[in-house]
Amino acid sequence: MRSAAAWLACAAPEVVEAFLGELGDEALMSLPWLFEFWALPHQLPPEGVWKTWVIMGGRGAGKTRAGAEWVRAEVEGATPLAPGRSRRVALVGETLEQVERVMVFGDSGILACSPPDRRPVWQTTKRRLVWPNGATAEAYSACNPESLRGPQFDAAWSDELAKWPKAETAWDMLQFALRLGADPRQVVTTTPKQVGVLKAILNNPSTVMTQAPTEANRAHLAASFLEEVRSRYAGTRLGRQELDGVLVEDLEGALWTSATIEAARAEGPPPGRLSRVVVAVDPPVSGHAGSDECGIVVVGARTEGPPSEWCAWVLEDASVSAASPDRWARAAIAAMDRHGADRLVAEVNQGGALVESVIRQVDPTVPYRAVHAARGKAARAEPVAALYEQGRVRHLPGLDALEDQMGRMTVRGYEGSGSPDRVDALVWALTELIVEPAARWRRPQVRRL
**pLDDT at residue 25, rounded to an integer:** 64
Q: What is the pLDDT of residues 220-260, one digit of tens each?
A: 778 887 777 777 676 666 677 777 777 777 778 899 988 88
Local confidence band at 1 (pLDDT 50, 70, 90 cut-offs)? very low
Nearest to 74 by CA among 29, 123, 31, 136: 136
Mean of the pLDDT values across residues 285-308? 81
Give 289's contacts (C-beta < 8 A, 6+ positions apart). 322
pLDDT of residue 101: 96
Grouping H, G, I as helix, E, B as strand and the rest as coil, residue 342 is: coil
pLDDT at 5 over 60: no
**3-state SS of 344-388?**
EEEECCCCCHHHHHHHHHHCCCCCEEEECCCCCHHHHHHHHHHHH
Q: Average pLDDT of 286-305? A: 80
Asked whether the predicted pLDDT for residue 183 surpasses 80, the reply is: yes
The reported pLDDT for the residue numbered 24 is 66
Over range 146-153, report the average pLDDT.
95
> How many CA atoms does the CB half-sphere of 270 hold within 13 Å?
23
Average confidence score pLDDT of the chain: 87
Give the per-residue pLDDT at 444: 62
Total Cβ atoms within 10 A of residue 359: 23
Residue 215 has pLDDT above 90, yes or no: no
CB 420, CB 408: distance < 8 Å? yes
Model confidence at 285, in pLDDT bands (50, 70, 90)?
Answer: low
User: What residues have CB less than 8 Å from 366, skipping those under 6 apart?
Assistant: 333, 336, 344, 359, 360
Which pLDDT value is given to residue 289?
Answer: 46
Once rounded to an integer, what is the mean pLDDT over residues 153-163? 95
pLDDT digits (tens, 9 = 90+) for 197-211: 998 999 999 999 998
Say what the pLDDT of residue 31 is.
Answer: 65
Q: Which of 259-273, 307-321, 334-348 has the lowest mean pLDDT?
A: 259-273
Residue, of 163 and 31, whose pLDDT is higher: 163
Decide if pLDDT at 408 tops 70: yes
pLDDT tens profile 53-65:
999 888 888 899 9
pLDDT single digits (tens) 327-337:
999 999 999 99
Burial 301-311 (b: 16+ CB within 10 A, else e): bbbeeeeeebb
Task: Give the model's pLDDT for residue 250.
Answer: 76
**The pLDDT value given to residue 329:** 93
pLDDT of 140 reads 97
Q: What is the pTM of this model?
A: 0.61
First to last CA, the chain: 84
- Greatest mean pLDDT range, 169-178, 209-218, 259-268, 316-325: 169-178
Q: What is the per-residue pLDDT across 350-404, written as a single tens digit (0 to 9) for each?
A: 766 788 999 999 999 999 999 988 888 999 999 999 999 999 999 998 898 899 8
- Contact predicate 320/401, CB 8 Å: no
| Vertex 183: Cα angle to 56 and 33 (nearest 5) | 55
| Percentage above 70 pLDDT, the chain | 87
The pLDDT value recorded for residue 11 is 55
pLDDT at 78 over 50: yes
Return the axis-axis angle of helices 353-362 and 325-339, rounded to nearest 10°: 60
Q: Give the residue with greater pLDDT, 158 vs 31.
A: 158
Q: Of 32-41, 125-134, 218-227, 287-296, where does mean pLDDT reach its minimum? A: 287-296
Cβ atoms of 106 and 65 within 8 Å: the answer is: no
| Per-residue pLDDT tens over the stretch 414-431 | 988 788 999 999 999 999
